[in-house]
Amino acid sequence: MAQNSSRPSRIDRIDLSILTALFSEARISKVQMSEAVGLSASRCYERMRRLEQAEIIRGYHADIDIARLASCLQFQVQIKLLNYTSARARQFEKTLLKIPEIVSCHGVLGHVDYVMTVVAATVERYQEVIAELRNQSENEFDFVTFPISKAIKSHSHSDLKQIVGRLTREEPGPG
């Protein structure tokens, strides 16, 4: 696998502090950021640009509650492509990108191929979205639908430093 040449060789504690501040508040000002991490605003900006170029920072987003905004239903959907091939998977992925009600999709390992989130005003509209996906896709697929009753935790309620610390901590060796 080719590595991104602009990827930092390692993330230090200041980079992690910058990422943590952005993770919890993407609208933080450069001045507030510099105070939080102990660097000048210009040095913070340089580090942010380096993290953007390395594609560690992929963008700055608002956490919008679509269901509250549009008073809609949300559905988690598991998709299993029948007669799976890499070419069929790529075609399916291109198709679902064109359907605006499919607001997220992840390729997964296991008994299903994808888990996606669909928003719709009604159950009937949800069924139309699935029919549209079936009609536009050259793939046959099975699916299981889980209507979402409430959100319990999202990434915006997570502690980035704690996550990174647990992910990068060396596992003890045997014996």
Which domains are present in the chain? Answer: 13-62 (1.10.10.10), 66-147 (3.30.70.920)
Per-residue model confidence as pLDDT tens digits over 40-84: 999 999 999 999 999 999 988 877 777 778 788 999 999 999 999
101 neighbors 118 (Cβ within 8 angstroms):
yes
15 neighbors 52 (Cβ within 8 angstroms):
no
Distance in angstroms (rounded) separating the CA atoms of residues 98 and 103? 10
| Average pLDDT over all residues of the chain | 87
Q: What is the pTM of this model?
A: 0.72
Binning pLDDT at 50, 70 and 90, where does residue 9 land? low
Distance in angstroms (rounded) separating the CA atoms of residues 106 and 120? 19
Among candidate residues 81, 114, 85, the one with its CA nearest the CA of residue 97: 114
25-44: burial string, b at 16+ Cβ within 10 Å, e else: eeebeeeebbeebebeeeeb
Torsion sign over Cα 68, 72, 75, 79 = negative
Binning pLDDT at 50, 70 and 90, where does residue 154 land? confident
**In the prediction, which pLDDT does 138 show?**
84
